[in-house]
Copies of this chain bind each other. A is one copy, B any other.
Amino acid sequence: MIKVAIVDDNTFLLHAIKEKLSFFDDVIVKHASINGSDLLIKLEENHNLDLILMDIEMPVLNGIETTQMVKQKYPHIKIVMLTAFDNDEHIFNAIKAGADGYLLKEINPKDLYEGIKETLNGGAAMNPSIAMKTLKLLRNPIDIKNPCDQEEISLSDREVEVLEQLSKGLSYTVIASNLFLSPSTVRKHIENIYKKLQVHSKIEAVQKAKNHNII
């Protein structure tokens, strides 16, 4: 059985999607949400889910932000954007957020079903016109900056230095030795880095730093 959730603020379209899926016996719609935070609450209770069909434009928490958060916490759950619009920025941001596919709402039941199957099989579900847009994006890499990532992050020079070493997978003691510091100092720097970046582990710190072009 394929366990699916749907997120869409338009209840009419939501029912339309449900109906399309109803033709297939091996697909079960576990739950539906009207926005991102609604979904996150449901996932907290139960994350036994294979795939999420996600609208983009929603109140409270939009599809892009929601995708990013779900993928961070539950990387095993596939996410396919299912939306009415196909403008470049939406597509690019959805992909950056970690979406595994991008389909248009006008899709017919069979193609939707096959897209879901392909996605669960490790592929990406993509409408041909969307596929063409991704090809163009690859050919002509435009720098679309992330407007939501504008929190001020200011690390000191020393902290950046430590972060750089962290990103190479070195341990506290090795970093201390490299920078001619006491391990205690390195640990203190890392503590401060974590606080500034609001993270709680090496990997998260390195990830966030890379996203913000700090390293």
Tell me the A residues contacting B by CB distance below 8 Å.
47-48, 71-76, 92, 95-96, 98-101, 118-119, 121-129, 131-132, 134-135, 137-139, 141, 161, 164-171, 177-180, 199, 201-204, 206-207
Q: Are B207 and A138 closer than 8 Å at their CB atoms? A: no
Q: How far is the CB of A99 from chain B (nearest CB, A)?
A: 8
Q: Are A134 and B135 closer than 8 Å at their CB atoms? A: yes
Q: Are B129 and A180 closer than 8 Å at their CB atoms? A: no
How distant is the Cα of A135 from the Cα of B75 in the complex, in angstroms?
A: 16
Task: Give chain B residues whose Cβ lies under 8 Å from the Cβ of A137.
Answer: 138
Q: How far is the CB of A17 from chain B (nearest CB, A)?
A: 20
Kindly identify which residue among B73, B96, B129 contacts A139, using a CB–CB cutoff of 8 Å.
Answer: B96
Q: Are A131 and B129 closer than 8 Å at their CB atoms? A: no
How distant is the Cα of A169 from the Cα of B164 in the complex, in angstroms?
A: 17
Task: Give chain B residues whose Cβ lies under 8 Å from the Cβ of A168.
Answer: 71-73, 75, 203, 207
Return the chain B residue nearest A133 by Cβ: B124
Q: Are A201 and B169 closer than 8 Å at their CB atoms? A: yes
How distant is the Cα of A177 from the Cα of B96 in the complex, in angstroms?
A: 25
Task: Give chain B residues whose Cβ lies under 8 Å from the Cβ of A167.
Answer: 75, 203
Task: Give chain B residues whose Cβ lies under 8 Å from the Cβ of A180.
Answer: 48
Q: How far is the CB of A88 from chain B (nearest CB, A)?
A: 12
Q: Are B169 and A204 closer than 8 Å at their CB atoms? A: yes
Task: Give chain B residues whose Cβ lies under 8 Å from the Cβ of A201.
Answer: 169, 171
Q: Are A76 and B203 closer than 8 Å at their CB atoms? A: no
Q: Are A165 and B76 closer than 8 Å at their CB atoms? A: yes
Task: Give chain B residues whose Cβ lies under 8 Å from the Cβ of A96.
Answer: 138-139
How distant is the Cα of A126 from the Cα of B123 in the complex, in angstroms?
A: 10
Task: Give chain B residues whose Cβ lies under 8 Å from the Cβ of A135.
Answer: 95, 99-100, 124, 134
Q: Are A128 and B125 closer than 8 Å at their CB atoms? A: yes
